[in-house]
């Protein structure tokens, strides 16, 4: 009678032996196949490759100033820069930090386009070695800019008073608000996924134009499933006790709303209020007139007396934290980087009892430059992408037989000339 060895008697021993045999085989294969030799020159089988591309399959907006590529090993900077391709082209500049390449755009990315980034033939380069190493594994990625779209308040038939989103890229339009709301003003959040707007609810009894409510609605311009569906409506602030007038968005993504409110029973009771999600509306005690939020969304520029006060949006506001710009009566707009602004000075010529308005360009280098001086109105201005031009809506004062009328017109202003 034959006696079986302990190996065959213990199942756990058999399992361990099989696992050890498999791992040993894998190690031998990896060691033996890790180098491929050709003409006595051995090349590493695993090529250098891109580990991360920050815009991979992303929708890019004006908030995105550039992308990054991270490689798994040091690369020849020249070979990467020479072989990196973007179609259609996007003008920009390259900077490096170790194995990380950063591509910063020179201009705002055009909306409504699909892009393809490719990199091949670039080579690795290790410190202390003059000779370049292996070629990179070819890398191809795609991304797209956001749809070209805009919103407006309808004026025809069933669109009258309603907020409409027109998507020029997809060539369609969507009515975002119900028919019982008459929209007065609106602003996109920075990511364009939501629109904050003020409106009159026609269903309320004794409807009063003063009683404007604040709402938010999803635009549908999103990849996020929670905000991708358009027309999702939410009431933010009612206007029963206080009249909600002009508003602007603060915070990183417009989550803070600054709104000018006037007591419906006492017009002397007016102030700016801060509305934050999940918190009770807070009075800011600013006592000012027209205002706008700065581009970094951390402060308010507000007309106070004979100048403009820059007030931080924080829990505590004191005199030492407020900057004051005398002379100007209104801030129209800031450049995207916050380094310059367009401001209005209200002039009076006592000799002729004429009132004029001057548009000034002001920057953080101390430049104060008068661009135009008119008798009409300076309704609004916006900087272009590189902040070298202003586009403005102005009015010309025209005298008829019985009265003066204001004729609107657009103008483009080159700030340098």
Q: For residue 393, what are the contacts with CB-CB under 8 A and spacing of at least 6? A: 379, 380, 381, 408, 409, 410
The pLDDT, as a whole number, for residue 313 is 87
Angstrom CA distances, 100 to 33, 58, 96, 126, 415, stand at 30, 19, 6, 15, 37
Those residues with Cβ within 8 angstroms of residue 414's Cβ, 6 or more apart along the chain or in another chain: 388, 389
Q: What are phi and psi of 31, to 5 degrees?
A: -65, -40
pLDDT score of 150: 94
- Please state which of the ranges 14-18, 46-50, 210-214, 375-379 shows the lowest mean pLDDT: 14-18
Q: How confident is the model over 347-362, as pLDDT tens digits?
A: 876 555 567 899 999 9
Least confident range from 14-23, 290-299, 405-414: namely: 14-23
CB atoms within 10 A of CB 220: 19
pLDDT digits (tens, 9 = 90+) for 33-74: 444 444 333 444 578 999 999 999 888 888 788 999 999 999
pLDDT score for 336? 84
Taking only the tens place, the pLDDT of each residue in 191-204 is: 889 999 999 998 87
Picking from 122, 116, 117, the residue whose alpha carbon sits closest to that of residue 82 is 122
Three-class secondary structure of residue 93 per DSSP = strand
pTM of the model: 0.73
Task: Give the number of other CB atoms < 10 A from CB of residue 265.
Answer: 8
Confidence band of 138 (pLDDT split at 50, 70, 90): very high
The pLDDT tens digits of the residues spanning 154-189 come to: 999 889 999 999 999 989 999 999 999 999 999 999
pLDDT of residue 198: 95
Question: Which tens digit of pLDDT belongs to each residue from 265-288?
Answer: 898 888 999 999 989 999 988 877
The pLDDT score that the predictor gives to residue 286 is 82
253 near 185, Cβ under 8 Å? no
* Residue 329 reports pLDDT greater than 60: yes
Q: How far is CA 139 from CA 60, 70, 77, 84, in A?
A: 20, 12, 16, 10
Q: From CA 68, how far away is CA 403, in angstroms rounded?
A: 60
- Residue 372's pLDDT is 92
């Amino acid at each position: 009678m034959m006696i079986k060895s302990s190996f065959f008697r213990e199942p756990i021993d058999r399992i361990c032996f099989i696992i050890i045999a498999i791992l040993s085989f894998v190690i031998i294969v990896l060691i033996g196949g890790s180098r491929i030799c050709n003409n006595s020159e051995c090349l590493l089988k695993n090529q250098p490759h891109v580990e991360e591309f920050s815009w991979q399959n992303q929708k890019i907006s004006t908030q995105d100033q550039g992308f990054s590529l991270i490689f798994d090993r040091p690369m020849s900077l020249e070979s990467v820069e020479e072989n990196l391709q973007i179609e259609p082209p996007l003008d920009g500049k390259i900077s490096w930090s170790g194995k990380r390449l950063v591509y910063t755009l020179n201009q705002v990315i055009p909306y409504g386009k699909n892009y393809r980034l490719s990199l091949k033939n670039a080579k690795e380069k290790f410190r202390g070695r003059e000779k370049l190493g292996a070629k990179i594994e070819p890398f191809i990625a795609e991304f797209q800019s956001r749809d070209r779209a805009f919103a407006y308040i309808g004026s025809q038939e069933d669109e009258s008073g309603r907020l409409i989103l027109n998507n020029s890229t997809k060539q369609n339009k969507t009515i975002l608000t119900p028919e019982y709301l008459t929209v007065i003003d609106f602003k996109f959040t920075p990511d364009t996924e939501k629109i904050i707007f003020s409106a009159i609810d026609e269903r309320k009894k004794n409807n009063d134009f003063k009683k404007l409510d604040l709402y938010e609605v999803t635009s549908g311009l999103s990849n996020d499933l929670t905000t991708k569906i358009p027309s999702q409506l939410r009431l933010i602030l009612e206007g029963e006790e206080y009249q909600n007038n002009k508003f602007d968005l603060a915070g990183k993504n417009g989550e803070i709303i600054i709104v000018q409110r006037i007591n419906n029973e006492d017009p002397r009771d007016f102030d700016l209020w801060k509305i934050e999600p999940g918190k009770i509306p807070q009075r800011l005690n600013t006592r000012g007139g027209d205002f706008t939020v700065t581009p970094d969304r951390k402060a308010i520029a507000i007309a106070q007396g004979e100048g403009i006060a820059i007030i931080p949006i924080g829990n505590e506001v004191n005199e030492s934290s407020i900057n004051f710009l005398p002379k100007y009566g209104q801030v129209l707009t800031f450049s995207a980087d916050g380094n310059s602004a367009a401001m209005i000075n209200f002039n009076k010529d006592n000799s002729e009892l004429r009132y004029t308005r001057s548009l000034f360009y002001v920057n953080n280098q101390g430049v104060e430059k008068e661009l135009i001086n008119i008798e009409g109105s300076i309704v609004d201005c916006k900087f272009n992408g590189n902040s070298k031009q202003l586009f403005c809506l102005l009015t010309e004062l025209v005298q008829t037989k019985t009265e003066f009328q204001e004729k609107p017109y657009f103008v483009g202003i080159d700030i340098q000339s």
